[in-house]
Structure 1
Amino acid sequence: MKEFKRTTVTAALPYANGPLHIGHIAGAYLPADTYVRYLRLRGDDVIFICGSDEHGVAINLGAKKEGVTPRQFVDKYHGIMQKAFADFGIGFDIYSRTSNQVHYETAQAFFKKIYDKNLFIEETSDQYYDEQEKIFLADRYIIGTCPNCSNANAYGDQCEKCGTSLSPKQLINPRSTVSGQTPVLKATKHWYFPLDKFEAWLKEWLIEGHKEDWKTNVYTQCKAWIDQGLQPRSITRDLDWGIPVPLPDANGKVLYVWFDAPIGYISATKELKPNDWEKYWKDKDTRLIHFIGKDNIVFHCIIFPSMLKAEGDFILPDNVPANEFLNLEGEKLSTSRNHAVWLHEYLQDFPGRRDELRYVLNSISPEAKDADFTWKDYQQKVNSELVSIFGNFVNRVMVLTWKYFDGKVPSEHELPVTSDKRNKVLASYKQAHEDLNASIKLMTDALKNFRFREAQFQMMNLSRIGNKFLADTEPWKLAKEDMEAVGCILNYAITVIGNIGIACNPFLPDASKSISRQLNGASYEEGWKKFWKQEELIHIVPPQHQLAQPELLYKNVEDADIEKQIERLKKSKAPVATENTTAEVKPLKGEIVFDDFAKIDIRIGKVIAAEKMEKSDKLLKLTVDSGVDRRTILSGIAKHYTAEEMVGKQVTFVANLAPRKMMGIESQGMILMAEDNQGKLRLVTPDADVNPGAGVS
């Protein structure tokens, strides 16, 4: 791997239309903060960049809903998010915002540089317009039926069930997410980025160049996008809030939020380092790393790199370690339903306990697949791991040292073997030393490769090994007959504590500070770089050094604390439709006549074989007995049914749908599903078995 002089780390710019919840933190900001702390401890030159994303249709709509101006709206949520990040201890070097003047100037200059190369496509076309709200609709504000997998809630730019890249005009029965009405097409002029012209370069740089070093979930999504073929993408919008397009014939046009937002990383760096910002973005000896959630993968791995390539002066991302999604108590986090743990509320309810949330979120980090946060699991991890393992080891050693040596570090010296007990002490020391160094190397390797769950586990393992060392040597028993051995045991145990204080800093910074206080100015921080460079246990605290009084690092989370949080979720969550409540239903589609319906041949079939499609987390390949033949149907239901569950089931399918090729396989029909208001798909089946081929009328 190439050695770099410096590292630029960015965390996804959070959208300034609401507060932060734990899904945001687990997805991008905690992994980024953990990694940056590790680099800083090594003594690396690193900057950590973030800020509020403050443009786009959602800002206009949110401001309108609250009865304020867009500026007042983003000022409010920028302040809330900035404070929450600071209170949680996320160590950005700068937390900027895309409404700052320096960002306007940077984004416009970026646009103009590419424009002057004649790369943009200028085109007048019909785009969807919401007549009720009197706005042109961004791709993400149009939903409809995916022509590929028949998902009824595909977005105008992508179907999140089958992963197909779409344009709004490809959607069947499109509708506005703003008003629920069917939009109309209206002529407007815009500028397009020719993403298709960068397809060959992306295949070489990304598909070939990062096959081995990028996370599988990131690489797979990018490859699927590129394999489908890239299309020019509009980079301007008709809005009155945003960065004006810097051209004389562009009145009323602003830069598309997904063009201007990633440039915010660059403008924020300009704010932070106005005199030498370029070395963090233009020097080939700088490593650029983006931390994001999986919904931002395409923008950071395909679109933004293509923009940087088109501009010509900037380095490209070396890695984009995106995480999957975090669920809450078995359900998707939902801001609209208020099913979330809000960061600012957690900090109010658990003052002084931010390490606990860091630890739990790191331990369940959705690095390769979606993960689930539950309050019971939170309690268990804090009580049985942070309190009983980590905090217990540190406190036992400190208390024993005060008890037997008045808080002074005992001397380190050779321990002659004069008894079986001393022989056991030496054997335990040797084993502990080997195990500790092995865990340190595993921890640092995991940190280098963005495996933060594993890294934190190995960090915690240092305390497990320390506890075992104490249990095996039993200094409280030896104190009755061999204080020299007790001194050697506690001297080594205090060395372990000092190393744990260094090792835990990326994960548990407050605990690291507490250990530093308890070691009472032992100048062990000078050994941090040595620890992280050598990746092995180092000697830290000198003999006869006076320790400070012991501190309890953690305390148990009580049942009442957890019950309060669970009850809050129950009360605050918007009700799900039941027999006694009315669910929000989608607007009716456009009217059809009987002849339209009569063309559709809907039948009942039986699944006789099923398998998961390779390289797709959404598609099942079904072999269906239609009563007439046996046919292959690809269906985007893998997140709702396993292949094993589908075998033997009766399904309702469209039998005369024109075949469509997906991932190299021809699908000969479409399975009909019902989708509830939580996004869960259910099979539409007869209430009793019927013969395959039975018609539905």
Structure 2
Amino acid sequence: MTAEQRHRILIAATPTPNGDLHVGHMAGPYLAADVYARYLRAAGLPVTYTTATDDSQTYVTSTARRQGTTPARLAAESTLAIEGSLTALGIELSAPEGRVLPPIDARYREAVTEFVRALHEAGRLRTLTVRLPYAERAGQYLYDGLLSGSCPSCGAASSGGGCEDCGHPNNFDELREARYALDAEDPVSYREETILALPMEEYRAELEAHFAEVLPRWRPRPARLVRELLDRPLPVIPVTVPGDWGVPAPFAPTPGQVVYPWVEAMPASMYATWWANGADRSLPYDEYWKASHGAEPVYFHGFDNVYHWGLVDLVLLLAHGDRYVRPSASVVNEFYELDHAKFSTSRNHLIRGAELVAETPRDTARFYLALTLPERERTNFDRAALAEVTARRLTGPWNELAARLAERTEPVGAEPQQITAAGRADEERFAAALRDCFELTGFSVARAAALLADRIAELNERAAGPGELGDLLAAVRSLLAWSAPILVDTARRAAEAGVVLALDAGPADKIAPFRVPPLP
């Protein structure tokens, strides 16, 4: 197998099941990874696209307490909602028939336990005494979603673990003006506790070598954050924490503690990959991530998770020696806003994925999200803009093109039409431009959507003129093939009607007439 034919493992950031996915989530890692996965499949390359719900996050327990329910019930109900929204938007995860997300069950917990136990047995973990914030009245150690305060790096309001604004981490007692997220009046003190931790600094040389190779494939702002993090002393990674929700830590030095939720993401990704490939009980949960398989993992996540997905997960792999493959890239998105304000579940300032598709045809929704998703800077979702932009750049010219092509082909019936050398060269230029959008070195769903819109307008004008019908048909067939990762329902209807949607259809002298499925 050549480097180009390696099995790609695409991991979208593990969604926290404390509610449904909203459009801000969908326009980030899930749609981008879906488009890339569909492109790889169309190119005939092996790919597994997967994720798993992040049930152990403290945001599940904090939301459950606010809603007066249990974490288990909230996680179960939210997982069903998340699966519904993913399906509604046509996010096609690799999964057994009739399933979407892997179950967070006993096998999952075994995978997490096996992963951290191997680190402990290899002597990679260190016993560490740290100061942790503690809510006195609640009797609760505070970390991540249970903790709020000010970022020690930029001063912005932040939860524990990491700052959404600047991306820098905070651990233990580093968050300033610490408060209990569920009760700001509950006095917060600091208590010493012994945990197990993984010193990131011990892997500096390997980190620097890895990022020297892969950062050219990252977008500028997240790449700059990685360099900022490497320019200062690297923190330790808590592997166990004193908590009452999550996978129990199997270590004698830390009785009653759980595995730190962010550490779960790495074995969760391995478990999800195993599950997506058939959940063969004769294979270990980490089978597909072993270096011997030579797979190529690619992560899709937001800027606020650069530290965790970019560095923490990598160190967790490095700590296992040469056992595992390492990610070749992280595709990082910025925040997608709604009416120029951050999506917010607590303020009900959001649109859920399933709600969007209920009011907008799926391909239209996918096109608008693709065109406006926040790849390099914050962008904005606006219902009025969705209607105006898609009518002007997608549905209007697309349906005019479909009608004009039907008029042009009616007199010739099913007779194949000649493709000229100029027509083949035009196809190749268009394919090269879209291929550059879909390959990791220049990956940009937004640029692809813009190029597709421009091509629709161009071919609509050509269809109204006297040009070669064979060249027009070849160009439209290529448009259908390269728009398929975004316009999934239209591509399916075209394929069912017999249109060949191979990305590389090969040189051809003639093409049979066909009809373009209209957009609703």
Shared fold (TM-score greater than 0.5)? yes
Name 2:320's counterpart in structure 1. Answer: 311
For 1:596-607, what aligned pairs fall within 5 Å after superposition? none
Query: Residues of 1 paired with 2:41 and 2:508: CA distance?
Result: 18
Confirm whether residue 542 of structure 1 aligns to residue 508 of structure 2: no
Confirm whether residue 521 of structure 1 aligns to residue 514 of structure 2: no
Larger helix fraction of residues: 2
Query: Residues of 1 paired with 2:503 and 2:423: CA distance?
Result: 23
Confirm whether residue 143 of structure 1 aligns to residue 144 of structure 2: no
Query: Residues of 2 paired with 1:140 and 1:333: CA distance?
Result: 17
Name 1:132's counterpart in structure 2. Answer: 137
Cα deviation for residue 120 of structure 1 reads 0.9
Cα deviation for residue 472 of structure 1 reads 3.1
Name 1:242's counterpart in structure 2. Answer: 246
Confirm whether residue 441 of structure 1 aligns to residue 428 of structure 2: no
Cα deviation for residue 242 of structure 1 reads 1.1
Cα deviation for residue 493 of structure 1 reads 2.9
Query: Residues of 1 paired with 2:493 and 2:6: CA distance?
Result: 32
Confirm whether residue 15 of structure 1 aligns to residue 16 of structure 2: yes
Is contact 1:498-1:541 (8 Å) kept? no
Confirm whether residue 262 of structure 1 aligns to residue 266 of structure 2: yes
Query: Residues of 2 paired with 1:43 and 1:145: CA distance?
Result: 48
Query: Residues of 1 paired with 2:373 and 2:76: CA distance?
Result: 31
Name 2:518's counterpart in structure 1. Answer: 552
For 1:180-579, what aligned pairs fall within 5 Å after superposition? 180=184, 181-206=186-211, 208-273=212-277, 274=280, 278-283=287-292, 285-312=294-321, 313-350=323-360, 353-402=361-410, 404-405=411-412, 408-413=413-418, 434-448=425-439, 449-473=442-466, 489-517=468-496, 520-521=497-498, 524-525=500-501, 528=502, 530-531=504-505, 541-542=511-512, 551-554=517-520
SS at match of 2:328: strand
Is contact 1:147-1:170 (8 Å) kept? yes
Rate the CA distance shift 1:176–1:387 in 2: closer, same or farther, 3 A.
same
Rate the CA distance shift 1:439–1:542 in 2: closer, same or farther, 3 A.
closer
Is contact 2:5-2:45 (8 Å) kept? no
SS at match of 1:89: coil
Rate the CA distance shift 1:503–1:539 in 2: closer, same or farther, 3 A.
farther
Is contact 1:55-1:98 (8 Å) kept? no
Cα deviation for residue 317 of structure 1 reads 0.5
Is contact 2:240-2:254 (8 Å) kept? no
Query: Residues of 2 paired with 1:501 and 1:205: CA distance?
Result: 38
Query: Counterpart amino acid of 2:512?
Result: P
Query: Counterpart amino acid of 2:498?
Result: G
Offset from partner CA, 1:557-609 (integer Å, 9 cap, x none): xxxxxxxxxxxxxxxxxxxxxxxxxxxxxxxxxxxxxxxxxxxxxxxxxxxxx
Give 5+ residue unaligned stretches, structure 1: 415-428, 475-488, 555-697
Query: Counterpart amino acid of 2:381?
Result: F
Rate the CA distance shift 1:145–1:24 in 2: closer, same or farther, 3 A.
closer
SS at match of 1:369: coil
Is contact 1:98-1:261 (8 Å) kept? no
Identity %: 22
Cα deviation for residue 97 of structure 1 reads 4.4
Name 1:592's counterpart in structure 2. Answer: none
Rate the CA distance shift 1:15–1:156 in 2: closer, same or farther, 3 A.
closer
Confirm whether residue 84 of structure 1 aligns to residue 61 of structure 2: no
CA RMSD of aligned residues (A): 2.5
Query: Residues of 1 paired with 2:93 and 2:167: CA distance?
Result: 33
Query: Counterpart amino acid of 2:11?
Result: T
SS at match of 1:506: coil
SS at match of 1:409: coil
Is contact 2:343-2:350 (8 Å) kept? yes
Cα deviation for residue 454 of structure 1 reads 1.4
SS at match of 1:336: coil
Cα deviation for residue 497 of structure 1 reads 2.7
Is contact 2:57-2:145 (8 Å) kept? no
For 1:18-29, what aligned pairs fall within 5 Å after superposition? 18-29=19-30
Cα deviation for residue 342 of structure 1 reads 1.2
Cα deviation for residue 164 of structure 1 reads 4.5
Rate the CA distance shift 1:148–1:502 in 2: closer, same or farther, 3 A.
closer
Query: Counterpart amino acid of 2:56?
Result: H
Cα deviation for residue 440 of structure 1 reads 1.7
Cα deviation for residue 193 of structure 1 reads 1.4
Which segment drifts farther, 191-200 or 119-128? 119-128
Offset from partner CA, 1:389-446 (integer Å, 9 cap, x none): 22321232124423x34xx2334359xxxxxxxxxxxxxx776654443222111111
For 1:599-678, what aligned pairs fall within 5 Å after superposition? none
Name 2:94's counterpart in structure 1. Answer: 93
Cα deviation for residue 2 of structure 1 reads 4.5
Query: Residues of 1 paired with 2:57 and 2:368: CA distance?
Result: 34
Query: Residues of 1 paired with 2:380 and 2:32: CA distance?
Result: 17
Bigger radius of gyration, 1 or 2? 1
Query: Residues of 1 paired with 2:351 and 2:435: CA distance?
Result: 31
Cα deviation for residue 96 of structure 1 reads 3.1
Which segment drifts farther, 508-517 or 309-318? 508-517
Query: Residues of 2 paired with 1:259 and 1:123: CA distance?
Result: 17
SS at match of 1:552: coil
Query: Residues of 1 paired with 2:255 and 2:170: CA distance?
Result: 28
Rate the CA distance shift 1:168–1:4 in 2: closer, same or farther, 3 A.
same
SS at match of 1:174: strand
Cα deviation for residue 315 of structure 1 reads 0.6
SS at match of 2:296: strand
Offset from partner CA, 1:512-542 (integer Å, 9 cap, x none): 122234xx335x24xx1534xx6xx756743
Query: Counterpart amino acid of 2:357?
Result: L
SS at match of 1:212: helix
Give 5+ residue unaligned stretches, structure 2: none
Query: Counterpart amino acid of 1:129?
Result: Y
Query: Counterpart amino acid of 1:91?
Result: E
Cα deviation for residue 490 of structure 1 reads 3.4
Offset from partner CA, 1:605-628 (integer Å, 9 cap, x none): xxxxxxxxxxxxxxxxxxxxxxxx
Aligned pair partner of 2:157 in 128, 142, 153: 153
Aligned pair partner of 2:173 in 146, 160, 169: 169
Name 1:39's counterpart in structure 2. Answer: 40
Query: Residues of 1 paired with 2:289 and 2:207: CA distance?
Result: 23
Rate the CA distance shift 1:5–1:210 in 2: closer, same or farther, 3 A.
closer
SS at match of 1:291: strand
Greater relative CO, 1 or 2 (CA 8 Å, sep 6+):
2
Query: Residues of 2 paired with 1:209 and 1:497: CA distance?
Result: 39
Is contact 2:215-2:329 (8 Å) kept? no
TM-score (norm 1): 0.68
Name 2:120's counterpart in structure 1. Answer: 115
SS at match of 1:59: helix
Is contact 2:64-2:70 (8 Å) kept? yes
Query: Residues of 2 paired with 1:55 and 1:281: CA distance?
Result: 25
Name 1:568's counterpart in structure 2. Answer: none
